[in-house]
Structure 1
Amino acid sequence: MKDLYQRIDKDDVAVLLVDHQAGLFSLVRDIPPEKFKNDVLALAGLAKAFKLPTILTTSFEQGPNGPLIPELKALFPDAPYIARPGQINAWDNEDFVKAVKATGKKQLIIAGVVTEVCVAFPALCALNAGYEVFVVTDASGTFNEITRYSAWGRMQQAGAQLISWFAVAGELQRDLRNQVDGLSETLGNSIPDYANLYASLNATQSRSNQ
Structure 2
Amino acid sequence: MKFSASFLVTVLSASAASAFQYTRLDKNDAMLLVVDHQEGLFQLTRDHSPVEMKSNILAHAALGKVFGLPTVLTTSAETGPNGPLPSEIIAMHPNSSFIKRNGEVNAWDNADFRAAVAATGKKQVILAGITTDVCTSFLALSLVEAGYTVFANADASGTFDDKTASDANARMRDAGVQVLSMFATACELMRDWRNTPGAKEMLPFFDTYLPEYGYLARAHDAAVTNGTLSGL
Deviation at 1:202, TM superposition (A): 9.2
- 1:43 counterpart residue number: 60
Identify if the C-alpha distance between structure 1 residues 38 and 95 changes in structure 2 by more than 3 Å, giving closer, same or farther.
Answer: same
Equivalent pairs counted in the alignment come to 207
> Which whole-Å deviations, capped at 9, do the CAs of 1:115-172 have from their partners, x for residues lacking one?
1111111111100000000001011011111211111111111110100110011101
Root-mean-square deviation (CA, aligned residues, Å) is 2.0
| TM-score normalised according to structure 1 size | 0.92
1:157 corresponds to which letter in structure 2?
D
The residue that corresponds to 2:163 in the other structure is: 146
Taking the TM superposition and a 5 Å limit, the aligned residue runs for 1:1-210 are 3-180=20-197, 182-199=201-218, 200=220
The separation in 1 between residues aligned to 2:223 and 2:115, in whole angstroms, is 47
Q: TM-score, normalised by structure 2?
A: 0.83
Query: Conserved in 2, the CA contact under 8 Å of 1:127 and 1:160?
Result: yes
1:83-125: CA deviation from partner (whole Å, max 9, x where unpaired): 0011111000000000000000010011011111111111111
By how many angstroms is 1:193 displaced? 4.0
The SS at the match of 2:75 is: strand
- Alpha-carbon deviation of 1:191? 2.1
State the distance in 1 between where 2:144 and 2:90 align. Answer: 27
Q: Say which structure, 1 or 2, has more relative contact order (CA 8 Å, 6+ apart).
A: 1
Which ranges of structure 2 fall in alignment gaps of 5 or more residues? 1-17, 228-232
The gaps in structure 1 that reach 5 residues or longer are: none
Secondary structure of the residue that 1:22 maps to in structure 2? coil
**Percent sequence identity over matched residues?**
49
Give the superposition deviation at 1:4.
2.9
Structure 1 or 2, whichever has the larger Rg, is 2
Amino acid of the structure 2 residue aligned with 1:87? E
Shift of 1:179: 3.6
